[in-house]
Structure 1
């Protein structure tokens, strides 16, 4: 009997450490071309009416993946951008859920990553209609999970913040373990509550996902301005809209914000040095990233990568070193929280390895 109990405990622990997998995965290509849109409509027929803005179509390409996060269903629909979908309220939906959706969640550049995201929040029992094309992310959760009115008023900045969080969460689903799911679900509900019915207490409860979104925004800004001489903690505080103390606290897992910027710049010089198509001198490559003292740069580079800039250039030009950038160090041990999970992944310190 003791052996059986021990085996059960081991199996449960192993199960908890497994990667989170899709609960449902659908693909219209499995049906005949003329029937594909009808198949897609049937996937949602009990909760929403779906139509084509352009009318009938000879074929319809779409996939849908759904992950279960506690009481939350997280759906990602990729439909052909050639078809404009119209989603409408169903008079008697099978469930009473909040639906939070992000349309046009793909972005071709950092510059349009904000303007292309459109957030929608509604309740399945309330009359509503919206349109989408391409990718649609939708989060479903029971109505009584969040105490808010059926038609909440949301500030544009709060809506954008929630859209950024859902995009970030989607990008991190592949890093989640089953043991993380409860924390992720709880933090996501806190985030929704903070946006739908804001209060000081709810904002405090949503601290982890808020920090994760701030981190992502800061990293986007760093990547865009990596060669900018004025890139500094002070600059980031102004551009991202965050206090200095909070910025420092968020980037603490990476050794601090200044250290993170320095390492990103070193990684960029390493990539350039290993690229045989880059004929700039080592000094020019370093200076382009703000390293004006060649001796100091060389010491920092060797301490970081174990090779000198000259050695990296020689190996790269001989085809023995790929110019792709290195990952940051792995995150520290201990039990991960949603905060450390999402921020760690954003900083290149994935906990899944």
Structure 2
């Protein structure tokens, strides 16, 4: 059973010489905006940008020194028709978007804690001042039913209670996405899509569908707590409920689809043991590995391990020592993981 960890595509200006940092940042962000000139230069200019593909959407975390930007008509045609949800953690973002014929130019100013909504189908110009932000790029085709509502929100700062919920969700998404498996990323994309629709175009159907994301986020939090506490033989539903802040019935419902919370704990322990047995340079005894991942009975561990993987712990170690790869957890990176490729792929 493979559980690949999805890692982001990362840009860090510190990897480049001071003289080329801004130009490199321009190239990175070019699918969305054309950065015209920086507010800081040389050693002072900093930019870090991480992106995750959520299976139809792109989630990005950015910290940058700021600068003036444009979105030209040519750029709009090149990178497709997307909306952009921006949660500003710090700094200021001022955007002036050109509207359709007969309408005035729309100007919006986002400050820390604001949620902005923008259409990449519009040309715009503006300035970003030393900011940290979370951005969700969503293709129009994924929200065809909500398109009219979304277009009315374009280039605006949303201050409704549901917008506050969406801002909180994006912050939770930031915390959760770093340790997600590729399988979880797909589910997270569905949950995020439901949350965006419910918050920005609320109907009975979209609000009902969005009940899933909170459950999913709590499940991810519980899963992380379990993985971090595998060596505790007293890891119980009561401990997990207290750590996550959910009731026992909610905890059971969270893991119902995977066979229950006890099965999840056992599988997590077995896969952690498999990793130790096949990857460690310094060999531990099988019994020591069993105890380390939370089993109190070595025989029980060996039987459970054999049922899960089809071979014994000793065989797993022997296979790895002869050059085989028994690892069940590997890093995964999309070979085309760039903002441009993702935006073009969704166009």
Question: TM tier, shorter chain?
Answer: 0.5 to 0.7
**Greater strand fraction, Structure 1 or Structure 2:** 2
Higher relative contact order (CA 8 A, sep 6+): 2
Aligned to 1:150: 158
Q: Deviations over 1:53-103 (max 9, x none)?
A: 4x2459998889898998xx746477xx7x51258999xxx9996633476
Deviations 1:279-317 (A, max 9, x none): 43222221122211222222112112222222223333x
Aligned with residue 135 of structure 2, among 115, 123, 137: 137
**Aligned partner of residue 266 in structure 2, secondary structure:** helix
For the Cα contact (< 8 Å) 1:100–1:121, is it kept in 2?
yes
Instruction: Report SS of the residue matched to 1:290.
Output: coil
Give yes or no for contact 2:150–2:201 (8 Å, CA) kept in 1.
no
Cα RMSD after superposing both structures: 5.4
Q: Is the 8 A contact 2:319 2:326 kept in 1?
A: no
Shift of 1:171: 9.0
Task: After TM superposition, give the deviation of residue 263 of structure 1 in Å.
Answer: 1.0
Unaligned runs of 5+ in 2: 1-12, 91-111, 120-125, 141-146, 331-347
Is this contact kept in 2: 1:291–1:297, CA < 8 A?
A: yes
The one-character-per-residue Cα deviations of 1:253-279 (angstroms, maximum 9, x if unpaired) are 322111111111112222222345334
Aligned residue pairs: how many?
A: 268
TM-score, scaled to structure 2? 0.54
Deviates further, 187-196 or 278-287:
187-196
Pick closer, same or farther for the CA change 1:281–1:204 going to 2, 3 Å: same
Q: Which of 106, 119, 122 is equivalent to 2:116? A: 122
**DSSP 3-state at the match of 1:100:** strand
Structure 1 stretches of 5 or more lacking a match? 1-27, 105-117, 328-353
Matched ranges for 1:1-353 at <5 A? 36=23, 52-53=38-39, 55-57=40-42, 74=58, 76=60, 83-85=64-66, 99-101=85-87, 120-124=114-118, 131-132=130-131, 137-139=135-137, 144-145=149-150, 150-152=158-160, 159-165=167-173, 188=192, 190-192=194-196, 203-275=207-279, 277-316=281-320, 318-322=321-325, 324-325=327-328
Aligned to 1:7: none
Aligned partners of 1:243 and 1:151: how far apart in 2? Answer: 31
**1:197 CA drift (Å):** 9.3
- Say if 1:89 and 1:258 are closer, same or farther in 2 by CA, change over 3 A: farther
Does the C-alpha gap of structure 1 residues 86 and 255 become closer, same or farther in structure 2, counting only changes over 3 Å? farther
Q: Is the 8 A contact 1:98 1:143 kept in 2?
A: no
Provide the rounded CA distance (Å) in 2 between the counterparts of 1:136 and 1:259: 35
